[in-house]
Each structure stands twice: as structure tokens, then as C-alpha cells.
Structure 1
């Protein structure tokens, strides 16, 4: 009798554990994704703006490089010539 009760208790606990696992897995499968807009084939191909992008990047890089050079020179307060000593 005791052995049967123990066996039944183990089966019951295993079933409870399996039920918990199934609840967790069913909650994780909830689908919260929906289609906002359907995909469409573009009417015309996208323009390749490679040359324009390259030139714009070159111009921005050049302006930034010159700006950094002037900024560093402006912040540099080392004495380079005898006139610098007279100005200070």
C-alpha cells in the first residue's frame, strides 16, 4: 500500500512538473507579430547615388579635417617665436 502511494505521488509530481513546463512553453509561443504593410515590388529601381555620396563624404571629411587643424592650432598656446614672448 505504502509503495503504491509513493509511486502514485511520484507520478502526480511528474505530471504537475510537466503541466508547468507546458504552460511556460505555451505562453512563450504567443504570436505578437502582425503584418503592418504588405511588401510591394518597386515601380522603378533605386538610383545609385554612389558618386554623389562619395563626393559629399569627401567634402565633409575635408571640412572636418581643416576644422580640426585650425581648432588645434587655435588652442595651442606654446611659444614658437620671440614675438610670442613679447605678446604675453
Structure 2
């Protein structure tokens, strides 16, 4: 197990642009979940998010979180392509 972790660490040390690609893919999956109205992508986790969710409702919270996920995906993919 330690050898596998060292190999992964060595790979990401040699090719750090793939970290941005992974971040972009994760945010893209979350964005798709928010667009499809899945609870695992929209569920408010912290107290501040729950307060925002209660004040503005499900639809506004979903649109806001979707926009944040979109920005994260754009930033991740931009970082990947700019790093190449």
C-alpha cells in the first residue's frame, strides 16, 4: 500500500497539471448533480449553508451552488490547460 501511495505521489510530483484535471472533473460531476437536482450535490452541509437554504429556498440555493460548481469546473480545467 505504501508503494502505491509513493507511486501516486511521484506521479503527481512529476505531472502536477493532472491535479487540476481531477479538480475540474469533480466539480463537473457536482455541477451535473446540481443540474439534475440530486440531493448529494445540493444538500447544505454547514450551518451557514442551511441558513441560506432556509432564507432563499431550494431553487435559489440550487442555482447558486450550481454557479459555484461551474466556476470550480472552469477553474480546474483552465488550470489544467494553462499548466500544459
Q: What TM-score comes out, normalization by structure 1 length?
A: 0.31
TM-score normalised by structure 2 residue count: 0.32
Higher relative CO (CA 8 A, sep ≥ 6), structure 1 or 2? 2
